[in-house]
Amino acid sequence: MTDGRYIAWDTSSLTGILSAFEVVQGALKPVATWSLSLETSKHSERLLWSLDTVLQSAGWRIDQLSGIAVGVGPGSFTGLRIGITTAKMLARTLGIPVIPVSSLAVLARGASAWLEDREDTGSTRILAATDAAKGEWFVLSGSWKSVRECVALAEGDLPGVWGRGVREEVIPPEVAVEELLAKLEQNPDACWIAFGQSVLRYPDLLKRLPQARRIRIEDPELHRVQASALMRLAFEAVQQGVVRSPSGLRPRYLRASEAEINLQKGRILPSPVHPRGGKS
């Protein structure tokens, strides 16, 4: 894929974002952005309306799109289903590909881009965290350089797509802090930065880390996913050819949903029509 018009959105968190961008002669051209709401439950009501608003702002028709980028998580199960289902539906109808983007990578890219102006950025350790409920965090961690090399969705060791040394996992916040502390002890010269709404909710946990080596965020908006970061990751994915057919688009939950857990434990039947092991 080369030049074209693209729409991107992420509905993995309370702050949904949409953006429109063009790829013109291999360069990124931002066109329009839009914020959804602070209520994930409302994404289903506002996503299509917001999409129409962004298209009108860009002066585009929907049949002029070359692809759709979408945040695939981790994050809210409901929000992800809404965003991904909408992307698959539209992409199939329009006959265009989809671009899967890690929602945590979008969050991390916003702050890592802010760090570029600092002279001591190279060895900085990054911790991006969002609420996974059940006393856990969705975490992306790694060095600043590795996070900057992340493109779209993690795909094993495919070169140019996911920087080595970057981890996405669902873990208790105490474990996330211990892992970061261990990395800092290995490199006494490294600074650290932590961001995301979950980090704001647990400020006392971060006191276990060396405060003299902390880089504090000056812009509170960096604790949320940024439309500019989503556009940049989607653009880089287009350049790398990280695209999928709509049928290949999957949410990145990192752990099973409550319904899947109950099904595995036999608490619910696999079908409302046929009981487990039954025949029609």
CATH of residue 61: 3.30.420.40
* Residue 109 maps to a domain: yes
pTM of the entire predicted model: 0.85
Pairing of strands 137-143, 192-195: unpaired
Q: What's the structural domain count of the chain?
A: 2
120 and 189, same structural domain? yes
Is residue 47 over pLDDT 50? Answer: yes
Same domain, 89 and 127: no
Tell whether 15 and 93 lie within a shared domain.
Answer: yes
Strands 17-24 and 4-10: antiparallel
Beta carbons within 8 Å of 220's beta carbon, 6+ residues apart: none
Could you tell me if residue 62 is inside a domain? yes
> Does residue 279 carry a pLDDT above 50?
no
Of residues 168 and 2, more confidently modeled? 168
Looking at the predicted structure, is the pLDDT value of residue 29 above 50? Answer: yes
Instruction: Classify residue 143: in a domain, yes or no.
Output: yes
**Residue count of the chain:** 280
* Confidence category of residue 194, pLDDT binned at 50, 70, 90: very high
pLDDT of residue 123: 84
pLDDT at 58 over 80: yes
The answer as to whether 148 is a domain residue is yes
Together in a domain, 11 and 73: yes
| 19 domain residue, yes or no | yes
In this structure, are 47 and 136 located in the same domain? no
Give the pLDDT band (50/70/90) at residue 2: confident
Tokens describing residue 83: 């965003």
11 closest CA partner among 67, 66, 62, 86? 86
216 and 114 within one domain: yes
**What is residue 221's three-state secondary structure?**
helix
Mean pLDDT value across residues 43-55: 86
- Least-confidence region, from 88-97, 241-250, 263-272: 263-272
Report how far apart, in Å, the C-alpha atoms of 249 and of each of 17, 97, 192 are.
19, 10, 34
Average of pLDDT values for 157-161?
A: 45
Clarify whether residues 84 and 161 are in a common domain. no
Q: Give the Cα separation of 74 and 71 in Å (integer).
A: 8
**Amino acid at the residue 17:** I
Is 180 in the same domain as 242?
no
Domain identity same for 86 and 49: yes
DSSP 214: B
Query: Is residue 113 predicted with pLDDT exceeding 80?
Result: yes
Residues 69, 85 within the same domain: yes
234 pLDDT above the threshold of 80: yes
pLDDT value of residue 265: 59
pLDDT, position 278: 45
User: Residue 145 domain-assigned?
Assistant: yes
Q: Let me know whether 234 and 99 are in one domain.
A: yes
Does residue 270 have a pLDDT over 90? no
Q: Which structural domain range is residue 194 located in?
A: 104-223
- Span 242-259, average pLDDT: 79
248 part of a folded domain: yes
Q: Is 163 exposed, middle or buried (0-12, 13-18, 19+ CB in 10 A)?
A: middle
Domain shared by 163 and 192, yes or no: yes
Is 274 contained in some domain?
no
